[in-house]
Amino acid sequence: MLTPRQEPLLTESQIRERIDQLAEKIVADLGTDKPFVLAGLLRGCFMFTADLVRALSIRGATLKELDFMVASSYGSGTESSRKIDIQRDLQADISGQRVLLVDDIIDTGHTLKLTRDMLLTRGPEYVKTVTLLDKPERREIDMEADYSCFSIPNLFVIGFGLDYDQKYRELPYITVMEEV
């Protein structure tokens, strides 16, 4: 049986501090002269997306539109199926737009690569990828996020939007699911 570890892997304050640093870096790299479209990959990214949008706004970045996609490769398990199911596409027209594609985690790389490549066919100015977590040990394809808050070991994590069978998303920190 899997259960959440009591002590956080990443505390709420560590997460918020790192999101602020990441927003600073994104603004320094991409500027604030033109609004961007933020495309989030639901469901895991919702908390990260909200905090990132606020942190970018504080630094002068302007949001043209916020939209979401639903792309899933996990179902109710703890391992990626490597089969990406796009259950909801963007409604926003991203042609000619600057796009930030936000996901909660990059592990095998399949989901982020597929969705980024799909968005690139729609003629944006660019698509930059942003993730809260990166599990480089799990990478199966040549795909790296342009921006990432934390690199973590190959652990199954929950909290701050990430779930296990739709549970634990509400935790304000990130912790590990472990066998008991």
Q: Which residues are catalytic?
A: 107
The number of CA neighbours under 13 Å toward the Cβ of 149 is: 27
Helices (H), ranges, the chain: 12-30, 46-58, 110-120
CB 52 within 8 A of CB 59: no
- Read off the DSSP letter of residue 55: H
Query: Between β-strands 157-158 and 175-179, what pairing exists: parallel, antiparallel or unpaired?
Result: antiparallel
Separation between Cα atoms, residue 8 and residue 170, nearest integer Å: 14
CB 49 within 8 A of CB 102: yes
For the chain, counts of helices (H) and of strands (E): 3, 9
Alpha-carbon distances, residue 153 vs 8, 24, 135, 157 (angstroms): 14, 25, 6, 10
